[in-house]
Chains A and B, each alone.
Chain A
């Protein structure tokens, strides 16, 4: 294991995070606060409790997941896309590092940032609504697992994308709709029967639902199914990265 290489990549990526602190931390916090004002205060005041949880508090896990998913993907994809774009990737490709070391460095740094962001958003939320976390260890585990999984997905996306347009396309057209329709702002029981069934095909529903369970002890779907699905997705992403480095897909000519 080339630990020095992992550390070098990790440090480099974290330095990039701190250089762009305003964009990477402040803006998600501001947008989360806006969600609270709009959904929590303006609309939430007209909605009664959901599963015995006040609406303002009910949307917190969904909001954290919303930011976690989008930020993980955009952060990790940009982290590898940019060196590819500028050409500095040559150094990583010519270094005595395995695919796993590269992934641990890049995805580790991106996930660190995402988890940190998730915690900051949680802290921000607690200023607006009284928070209750029934299973704190599970909550942190879900946070970590989701961050790592979607950073991996972002990493694959960043290698696949040949231009900025493609880099934006997947988050915009696929991830954002899935997240919004994934029950961030509602329980899927509030939907008409057809859409309830349709929602079961949305992987994000499982993530948000399980995460909400760690807070309030109630869930739309089985928590174990949710964990299993996330692990399957994580393994798929890992296999994709391994294949990419083996073949040099979009990395080596």
Chain B
């Protein structure tokens, strides 16, 4: 599925992926002909169940996985022929907690900076460590840190060389609520400084909270890519619940054209509608209710969450 840039004249995309496929030696086809463009400066969330191909996609862009077919450009640089330019722009926080054990926090973050070809800059490393609340732990060996702290160390390593594009592969898996909030704050500050962020997540809450755009991937295929708000508007369902003034025994025949449900006690009428079709339905419904002589005391609307949208999509029902 091709993705068009909204206005057509924005700056060069942070990442362009063309016809990317990956078949592992085992025969598993992890990615099927993916086309995707990540815009500069956005937070892009890649959503999908386990085994959907999220990590494979990130792995190819970052040089950990050989693509079977297709092409990837990072800021216009081909990831194979111009790997130096491409990779020096990218930071990666992998899903697994893989850290050195015996190194100190300070050493390992400086190692990462050097590895990515940047001259030593203690000031920058200090800022990164402070941002991630690791400054007090800088002289500790990584093995002595808690899981949450190790996760921060991995983020610090990825930020050590001042990347312009940051991949976070399930950054908050197994992280407590407080730390998750903190990380979201860090990600937002990074975005404000112009860093493009691509995150994969199981927590739809996370995508809903953070992302500008969302891509849904399932069984190696990009099911859709959409602005978050647009996605929620298009695919979201809304529920209008009316608290009736008097009990109703059945839905009057005049109203059967609407998707209505009557609660068992007959005091609540629930109207489900697609936000896509617009809100014209509500006005008509209310007028028809009035005409039928049904009065209500209160009403409330409720929008479906991304989670519900996502489950609907992956199950193949839209």
* A residues lining the B interface (CB < 8 Å): 2, 4-5, 7-9, 11-12, 15-16, 19, 86-88, 90-98, 247-248, 252-253
Contacts and interface: CB of A to CB of B under 8 A. Distances in A.
A114 to B, nearest CB: 21
B118 A94 contact: no
**Nearest 8 A-B pairs (CB), nearest first?**
A8-B114, A87-B98, A96-B87, A96-B84, A96-B88, A94-B62, A2-B117, A4-B114
B139 interface: no
B254 interface: no
B119 A4 contact: yes
B115 A5 contact: yes
B73 interface: no
Task: Give the most central of B24, B62, B85: most A CB within 10 Å.
Answer: B62
Interface of B: 24-25, 59, 62-66, 83-88, 90, 92, 94, 96, 98-103, 107, 110-120, 157
Given A94-B63, A253-B64, A5 B116 contact: yes
Nearest to B61: A94
B295 to A, nearest CB: 64
A166 to B, nearest CB: 19
Contact of A12 (B63, B83, B111): B111
16 contacts: A4-B113, A4-B114, A4-B116, A5-B116, A7-B114, A8-B110, A12-B103, A86-B100, A90-B98, A91-B92, A96-B85, A96-B116, A98-B84, A248-B66, A253-B64, A253-B66
B99 to A, nearest CB: 7
A247 B65 CA distance: 11
Given A4-B118, A90-B64, A91-B92, 6 more contacts: A2-B84, A8-B112, A90-B94, A91-B112, A96-B86, A252-B65
Contacts, number: 85
A88 B92 contact: no
B24 A253 contact: yes
Contacts of A92: 115
Contacts of A93: 62-64
Contacts of B110: 8
A94 B66 contact: no
A93 B115 CA distance: 10
Main secondary structure of the interface of A (DSSP, over half): helix
A11 to B, nearest CB: 7
A15 B114 contact: no
B100 A95 contact: no
A95 B89 CA distance: 10
Contacts of A88: 98-100
Contacts of A2: 84, 117
A87 B115 CA distance: 16
A161 B300 CA distance: 64
A90 B97 CA distance: 11
Nearest to A7: B114
B91 to A, nearest CB: 9
A95 B87 contact: yes
Contacts of A248: 66
A216 to B, nearest CB: 43
Contacts of A9: 115
B87 A94 contact: yes
B65 A253 contact: yes
Contacts of B92: 90-91, 94
A90 B157 CA distance: 12
A190 B140 CA distance: 57
Contacts of A247: 66
A4 B160 CA distance: 13
A95 B116 contact: yes
B94 to A, nearest CB: 5
A81 to B, nearest CB: 15
Task: Point out which of B65, B100, B115, B118 has the most chain A C-beta atoms below 10 A from its C-beta.
Answer: B115
Nearest to B167: A94
Contact of B102 (A5, A11, A19): A19
Contacts of B96: 87
A12 B101 CA distance: 12
B141 to A, nearest CB: 10
Contacts of B88: 96
B64 A252 contact: yes
Nearest to A98: B84
A97 B114 CA distance: 11
Contacts of B113: 4, 8
Nearest to B100: A88
Which of B62, B87, B114, B116 has the most A CB atoms < 10 Å from its CB? Answer: B114
Nearest to B30: A253
